[in-house]
Every structure is written in C-alpha cells, then in structure tokens.
Amino acid sequence: MEALKIDYDLNTNVEKFIVTNQAKQLFINGNWVDSKSGKTFDVEDPATGKKIASCAAGDEKDVDLAVKAARNAFETGSWSKMAPNEKGKILWKLSDIIEEHAQELAQLEALDNGKSVVVAGVADVPLAVDLFRYMAGMATKLEGQTIPGSFLVNNTLSPGAQFHSYTLREPIGVVGQIIPWNFPLLMASWKIAPALAAGCTVVLKPAEQTPLSALRLTEIINDSGLLPEGVLNIITGLGEEAGAPIASHPDIDKVAFTGSTEVGKLITKASAGNLKKVTLELGGKSPAIVFPDADIDAAIQGVASGIFFNHGQTCCAGSRLFAHEKVYEKVTEGVAEIAKNIKVGPGMHDKDGSQMGPLVSNEQYEKVVGYMESGKNDGAECLVGGTHDNSKGGHFVHPTVFSKTNADMKFVKEEIFGPVLTTQKITDDDLNNIASEANNTEFGLAASVWSKDISTAHKMASKIKAGTVWINCHNVFDSALPFGGYKQSGNGREMGFECMDNYLETKAVTVNL
C-alpha cells in the first residue's frame, strides 16, 4: 500500500501520526489491535475529499472484547477503587499532557473535521484540557449525604435516633460512549474525563468521519502509562456496526451518547435489553431572541457567531433568529453583512485568512444544501449566501441568512446543522407570546436572549424551555456549567457536578444503632 499524502505543511507529529501505510488500530485492554474482521474504513480531508487515513472498522466482536477488558479492569478495582486523590492527580497530569500536545491536536482536528485550525486551537483543545483539569478536582468531591429519616418499623414510625442513614456514590461500572464528529476531541473529553473521575471504565466509539483526534488522545494517554490497562478502550467503526453493539451490549452498565435525535432514539431502544442507564445529548434548534432595547451591535455579532461558529455544526447553534420588528431589519442586515464577509476555505489554511472551513462530509453537505433548497421552495427569501461548492472535492457551504420564514417551514422545524440562519419578526410585546414562539420546537437545548433590561432578560430565561439560556451572549461554555437538553434534545447533563450523576449510582445505607 502506498504511503498516504496530505496537502499541508504541518511540521508536527501529525504527519507521523497519519501519513502511514497502516490503518489506525483499535485500542483494547492497553493494546493497539486490528479489528477481528480485518476490515477498515477511510477517513477523508473534508476540504479536498482526499483520503488522509484509514481506520480499523470494529464490529460486535471487537466491542465484546473491549467490554470484557473494561469489565475486568472495573472489577479488579485498579481504577475504580483507586484513592480519589490518586485518580485526581492522574487526571490533572493527563490535562497537562494533552495541553503539551495542543498544537498537534488542533491541526489534527482541523484536518479531520474541516474546522479552522485557529478555532480548534482556541476552543476545542483548551476546552478539552480544561475539562480534564476540572474533573481532576471532581474525583475527590464525590460525596454522599447523611439523611435524617422518620423511619418506619413494622408499620409504625420509630424515633429516628435508632437509625443512622447515609448514601454512597459508587461508579456505575462499564460505560459505553458514542460521540459525534462536530467537536471530536472535545466530545471525547466530555465523555472520558467524568467517567474516569467517577471510577468507571470506558468503551468509546468516535464518529467514523472524525476518529483521528480521539485515537491520538488515546495514544498520548497510553504513552503516559498513567491509566491501568482496560480502563480506556477505543473502538473505531461505523454507527450500525460498532455503535449499535455498544448500545445493546448486555454487560455495559450505561451508555452516554451525543449525536442526532434520530440515532438517540435507536440507542434508547437498543439499550432496553439490559435496561442500561442512558444519557443523551441530541439535536437543537435554538432561538436567538433580540429585543429592541438590546445593544444591537453586540447582538448582531453574537447572533452571527451563534449560528456560524463551527459552520453551524453545533447542537446549540442559534439557528432561529427572532428579532423585534423595531430592530429586525438592522439585525438581519447586520448578520447578513457579517456572513458576506466570512472567508470560506480549508480550515488548515487559516493563515491565509479562511475563517470557515468545509462541512464535515459530502452527506452533511447534501443535507444542508437540501434544507436551503427546501426553504426556497417554501417561499423563504435568501438574504445572503445560499451558495455552495463541492466541485473540487471539498464540502463548502457559504454562510446563509433567510428572511420570510415561518414556524411551519421544514427548515425552520428541523435541525439543519449547517451555517444557515432563519429569521422571524417579533410583532408582539408580550413575553409569554414571544417565549411560546421561541419554544415552538421539539428541541430544547439552548437559547440566547438579547436585552439590556434585566427584568426582560431574566423573565425570558425562566420562560424558555431549554437546558441553557445565554443572556447577551451565545455559545459560552464552562467545564463547571451543566449542559444538556429539555424535550427531544436529550436527557442528562454534560459537565459540572450534574454530569457526575451520569456515571454514579447512589446507594442508601441504613444502620440500626
């Protein structure tokens, strides 16, 4: 087989990592191994459509081996019973090691996903590092409670003093984790770091479009020698072949999934066999609501970055703009002007000024283009963008803003997952009516509210049915803040203390004193 070639001068370990004759392997029980079937799949550069690597295509046999390794590691207690401060020290060291590889990981991410290498360097990688560091502290803070009861003994209330009750927080066991392609390294970190802090062992499947950064992360972790074998296992492969067996595996105690609502429903069904716990972080159709008293320049910038960040391939993208009629023209024109000036090009060529890379795959390109066509067919007017280009193998879609849209249009209802903003005029001053328009979606992941009036802003925050509300900002994340969805945007939360509920069981212990 010929050595693979890449088009960029990277000058880091990335070249060594991907320019190789060999398919990247699975990581099971501390070893790099081929898939049992010997099958592989190709990984492409979304800016050119050219192959940049190939990876082992795992299936149920490989998943089974990984689960056995994770089960064995969990039961021996090499990680699950390690002292919390030791676990914390290891997670902190891992955060340092990942940080040392920041440039390389940002390049890998840009190459594999198509995003701007600068954005990957200031967002994806530092957020991933920060979450490991935050979770290092979490390992020593998994506390139970002492609970005063009004105890029933033989159907009569007995004086509480006879009994002493407390809760223990215990790792849930072997966890399966399935992640998407939009923030590959960050999603891997959002999943792996809290599971490790809780003392769980992991079988993780990266998205087939973007497996490289999770594999390199695993290599970095493995080279550090800090994790006992079997604690972290990585199975690359296709959704139906490698993801579905994770969701249905009888010896996985919990599955954590991030991806589309459609696949989230499949995961829920597949997990029913052993009633494993399921947490889901799914799609969104987040509103950005601009009131006339907002700082309009800031709102324009914020709405534009709310939708165009990561090419709109963000589950919490502010994809539906609601602007009050008094400021609607100014806001939509302002966002359209920004859209017009965003330079689209390969993410790796950011130095030449490209600010928005290609969409991740041809499938995604076709989907987004299809939504733009459906909007036009439904009578929406394209203010800017609407253009796209895959003639040279890359999957480029220009930032796009539509007016004359309404809640009945398919592309206003469904998640586009591309750089496409739909806009609607608010013609009402009643906050309940405005909230009910914004809430008119099956999703409930996030929203932003733009107003200088603290009363309006906080009232709206309470009326919005979503797991995150940003006031005078959009897409602001912090490792300490829980993130997740209402309604069909999922259940469970990532990050923060709340995330630990995903990976812990609570045991109530009562002692007869």
Q: Which of 297, 287, 293 is nearest to 447 (CA)?
A: 287
Choice between 240 and 442, CB closer to ligand ADP = 240
* DSSP sequence for 426-462: E----HHHHHHHHT-SSEESEEEEE-S-HHHHHHHHH
Residue of 137, 228, 239, 496 interacting with ligand ADP (CB under 6 A): 239
**286 or 451: whose CB is closer to ligand ADP?**
286
Residues 23, 399: Cα–Cα separation, whole Å: 35
Interaction between residue 359 and ligand ADP (CB under 6 A):
no
Minimum distance between the CB of residue 260 and ligand ADP, rounded to whole angstroms?
Answer: 3
Q: Does 47 bind ligand ADP (CB under 6 A)?
A: no
Torsion sign over Cα 198, 201, 205, 206? positive
Taking CB under 6 A as the criterion, the residue among 55, 65, 94, 247 binding ligand ADP is: 247
Catalytic residue among 60, 281, 414, 415: 281
Phi, psi for 298 (deg, rounded to 5): -65, -40
Can you tell me the distance from the alpha carbon of 1 to that of 19, in angstroms, rounded to the nearest whole number? 12
**If binding is defined by CB under 6 A, does position 24 make contact with ligand ADP?**
no
**315 labelled catalytic:** yes
Q: How far is the CB of 203 from ligand ADP (least distance, A)?
A: 12
CB of 292 to ligand ADP, least distance (A): 36
Q: Yes or no: say if 45 and 52 are a contact pair by the CB < 8 Å rule.
A: yes
Among 184, 230, 259, 306, binds ligand ADP (CB under 6 A): 259
DSSP string, 99-164: HHTHHHHHHHHHHHH---HHHIIIIIHHHHHHHHHHHHHHTT-----B-----EETTEE--GGGEE
Round to whole Å and give the CA distance between 277 and 314: 25
Q: Provide the minimum distance between the beta carbon of 20 and ligand ADP in the complex, in angstroms, as a whole number.
A: 23
Cα dihedral value 353, 356, 362, 366, nearest 10: -130
Residues 240, 295, 297, 389: which binds ligand ADP (CB under 6 A)?
A: 240
Decide whether 179 or 339 has the Cβ nearer to ligand ADP.
179
> Does residue 281 touch ligand ADP according to CB under 6 A?
no
Residue tagged active-site, from 200, 315, 316, 499: 315
Among 63, 266, 321, 380, binds ligand ADP (CB under 6 A): 266
By CB under 6 A, residue 267 contacts ligand ADP? yes
Q: Is 418 in the site for ligand ADP (CB under 6 A)?
A: no
Q: How far is the CB of 389 from ligand ADP (least distance, A)?
A: 21
Which segments within 232-386 are labelled E, that is strand?
232-234, 254-258, 277-281, 287-290, 320-324, 381-384
Residue 243 is a binding residue for ligand ADP (CB under 6 A): yes
Min CB(239)–ligand ADP separation in Å: 2
The angle at the Cα of 314, spanning 126 to 174, to the nearest 5 degrees, equals 70
Q: Which is nearer to ligand ADP, 6 or 234 (CB)?
A: 234
Q: Which residue is listed with tokens 């940003």?
A: 470
Three-state SS across 46-100? CCCCCEEEEEECCCHHHHHHHHHHHHHHHHHCCCCCCCHHHHHHHHHHHHHHHHH
Pick the closer one to ligand ADP by CB: 91 or 256.
256
Separation of alpha carbons 304 and 312, rounded Å: 10
Which lies closer to ligand ADP via its Cβ, residue 267 or residue 438?
267
**Taking Cα atoms as reference points, which of 193, 207, 324, 186 lies closest to residue 259?**
207
Q: Shortest gap between Cβ of 100 and ligand ADP (angstroms)?
A: 27
Query: Closest Cα to residue 14, out of 141, 108, 140, 93?
Result: 108
Give whichever of 90 and 266 is closer to ligand ADP, judged by the CB atom.
266
When asked if residue 244 is in the footprint of ligand ADP (CB under 6 A), the reply is yes
- Note whether 109 and 14 are within 8 A (CB): no
Of the listed pieces 238-246, 335-343, 453-461, 483-491, which binds ligand ADP according to CB under 6 A? Answer: 238-246
Of 265 and 340, the one with the shorter C-beta distance to ligand ADP is 265
Residues 139-178 touching ligand ADP, rule: CB under 6 A, are 178
Is 219 part of the annotated catalytic residue set?
Answer: no
- Judged by CB under 6 A, does residue 28 bind ligand ADP? no
Burial class (CB in 10 A: 0-12, 13-18, 19+), 391: exposed
Size of the site for ligand ADP (CB under 6 A): 16
Sign of CA dihedral 66, 68, 72, 75: positive
Tokens of 496: 């923060």
Q: Which one, of 13, 11, 53, lies nearest residue 219 by Cα?
A: 13
Our finding on whether 260 is near ligand ADP (CB under 6 A) is yes
Q: Which is nearer to ligand ADP, 215 or 290 (CB)?
A: 215
Question: In the bound complex, what is the minimum distance in angstroms from residue 468's beta carbon to ligand ADP?
Answer: 19
Nearest to 409 by CA among 428, 393, 422, 427: 422
| Interacting residues with ligand ADP between 178 and 217 (CB under 6 A) | 178-180, 205, 207-208
Site for ligand ADP in 107-136 (CB under 6 A): none
Cα–Cα distance for residue pair 329/321, rounded to 1 Å: 12
263 counts as binding ligand ADP under rule CB under 6 A: yes
Residues engaged in binding ligand ADP (CB under 6 A): 178-180, 205, 207-208, 239-240, 243-244, 247, 259-260, 263, 266-267
Catalytic residues: 281, 315
